Structures are given as C-alpha cells and as structure tokens.
Amino acid sequence: MGPGSLALALALLLAAPPAGGRSSREANEAPPAAADFRVARLEQLWRKAGRLHLSAVKLAELHSDLKIHEKEELSWKKLKAEGLDPDGEREARLRRNLHVIMAKYGLDGKKDAQLGATNYITGGLENDVLDDPRLEKLWNKAKTSSKFSKEELEKLWREFKHHKEKVHEYNLLLETVSRTEDISKNVISPLEEEALKEGLLHQKHRELKDQMQSINQGFERLRRVSHQGYDASSEFEEPRVIDLWDMAKLGNFTEQELESLREELKHFEAKVEKHHHYQKQLEVSQEKLRHVEGTRDKELLSRNKEKYSALEEKTKEMGYKVKKHLQDLSSRISRGLQHNEL
C-alpha cells in the first residue's frame, strides 16, 4: 500500500459533513489557535473541534490524542520510506486509531458523540447515565449501601464511568475496523487487499480480545466492590491504574518485574492525579472567564484570559505525558500477556 492510500482514506473521512447545524454563537466562535501540528489533516481536525461544543478539558484531551497520533504517524512515515511496513499493518492500525479518535470527540460527522461532550470530573454523581442495566443495578446497590463513605462513592463512580468509556471505545473499534476495511477496498488494489488480510486479521483480533478481557475484568471488579466495599489494603485508586495492575498480575512477569511495574504504576498514578488537578483548575478558570467576559473591566478580563491560557497549556502538556505513559505501560503489559499465552 502506498503512502497515498492513508492520505486518501483519511481524506474520505474528513470530508464527512458535521452533524446537525450550529447556533450563531458557535458559528461566530473562533477556532482554537494553531497547535503546530506538522500533519495538515490533524491540524484540520483540531480546527474542526473548535467549532464543536466541547469543554476546555475535552479540547485538551483531544489535543493530547492528536499529538500522540501525530508522533506515531511521523514515525510510520520513516518506517514506510525504509520499507519496514511491507504488509501495511502499521498503516492500517493508524487509520483505525484515527477513526476512534474522530468518533470519540464527535469529529466523524455523527450526532452521537458519547464521550465528546461529557466530563466525569464535573458531571456529578447523578448527571450521567451508564448505558448498561447491569452497571445501573450495581451502582444503585452501591450508593444505597452503608459500606461507602462520600469519598469512596465518588471514587467508585469514577470507576463506573471509566468502565462505560472502555465499553464505548471497544464498540468504536469494532465499528471502525469494518469502516476501515470498506474504505481500503476503494483505495488499494485487490492484490494489496489480499496481502493485508493475512497479516492484519490476527492483529485486529488480538486488539479486540485484549480490550474485551479488560472489560470483563473491570466488570467483575465493579461487581465485587459494589457488594463488598473497598479493601483497605487496595494499592491503587485510579481506574486505569487498577486495570493495568490487574492485567500485569495475569502476565508472564517475574516477581522482580512485577515489583518494578508496581512502583512505576505508583508514579503513574501520581501523574494522573496531578493531571486531574489541572483539569479541575482549567474548568474553574473557564467558568470565571465566561463570567467576566460580559463585564467592562478589561484588566480583569486580560488577567483571566492569561490565567486560562497558562492552565490550558499546562493541562495539554500533562495530558500528553499521561497518555504517552499509559500507552507505554499498556504495551509492556500486553506483551507480557501475549507471551503468557504462547
């Protein structure tokens, strides 16, 4: 598959019209400033996001996702030039990953962007739904139980929302795998398509299997915690860290390797908590900025804009570091799981 195949496939996706109309206020809002993306279509996606009704936190999250994707795409281009992606496996994975990002933030032209406009940090415990009767039943049991303090209940709610997002992203992957294959048939020759199938089939099934395993483990954990409460000796609190640690314990790691992973996960959890702190500060700053925008105090407005911009950049920076670290840890642990199955 030539480099033009990826560009053409992505161009077909980007050509999709945005879902629904926009209010005059949204239409007049300036898009976010250029993010220095080196890949033009990613810059185009970033500007398109500025015309959607996304919170400051979601825009920062999207920025992190696009930056990581850009780094992977630039790395792929170097490999492709050296002939190191002969079966197009990395190219196809990049294409699927971008589909997931677009769907996640409502950039694929569809009206239903479940994760695009919601934010569990400010959503409260009753302002969102879990979209799964089993989860709703467990949550209702937990919140009426005497086993949880207010803080523990908030912590459990984050775990429920994290599980919902995992299921949603799994469903997105299922959908985008088939969409990618449909688009590929229009941009590559039958011979190239046949060559791709053999190499990609196992990889796609592996990716889906890993995600389903994580979902099943997560549900069992939610079921156990909802009935029994939190274990006082629990090592981690962040849902993503809990997932990674549970997966690591199932992998083919030595005791020394597990201890090393445990320490790294502790550092990662501290990084995630710091990122949460900046997200909350950014939301507070955004609300203050909206409040003073209607005033005539230009000095106050200037100070709030300056503070907001600084927090926005810091949140983007921390978000990138968190997602890159999460990606690295997930890859290492997944390799251990795969080796364990051999």
Instruction: Check pLDDT > 90 for residue 339.
Output: no
Angle at CA of residue 177, ends 174 and 182, nearest 5°: 130
C-alpha atoms less than 13 angstroms from C-alpha of 22 in its C-beta half-sphere: 16
Instruction: Write the pLDDT tens digit of every residue in 128-151.
Output: 678 888 999 999 989 888 888 888
4-16 pLDDT, tens digit per residue, is: 444 434 443 433 3
Superfamily of chain region 236-342: RAP domain (1.20.81.10)
Contact 28, 12 (CB under 8 A): no
Nearest of 139, 125, 129 to residue 223 by alpha carbon: 139
For residue 319, the surrounding DSSP H or E stretch is helix 298-341
Q: What is the pLDDT of residue 110?
A: 67
* Cα–Cα dist 93/336, whole Å: 21
What mean pLDDT, rounded, does the chain reach?
Answer: 78
Pick 207 or 162 by higher pLDDT. Answer: 162
Give dist(CA 49, CA 53) in Å, integer: 8
* For range 184-198, the mean pLDDT: 50
One-letter identity of residue 169: E
Mean pLDDT, range 78-84, rounded to an integer: 86
pTM of the entire structure? Answer: 0.70
Per-residue model confidence as pLDDT tens digits over 32-66: 444 579 898 999 999 999 888 889 999 999 999 99
* Tokens read off for 221: 């954990």
Phi, psi (deg, nearest 5) at residue 217 = -65, -40
> CA nearest 171: which of 105, 234, 100, 108?
100
Q: Average pLDDT for residues 204-212, to the nearest whole number?
A: 76
Q: Of the segments 41-45, 110-114, 204-208, which one has the largest average pLDDT value?
A: 41-45
247: which 2 tokens?
């997966």
Q: Above 60 in pLDDT, residue 113?
A: no
* Per-residue confidence (pLDDT) for residue 89, from 0 to 100: 77
Give the rounded distance of the alpha carbon of 338 from its chain centre. 23
Average the pLDDT over 224-241 and give the result. Answer: 85
Residue 60 is predicted with a pLDDT of 93
Q: How far apart are CA 264 and CA 272, in angstroms?
A: 12
pLDDT at 188 over 50: no
Average pLDDT over residues 163-191: 67
Structure tokens at 235: 């090592």
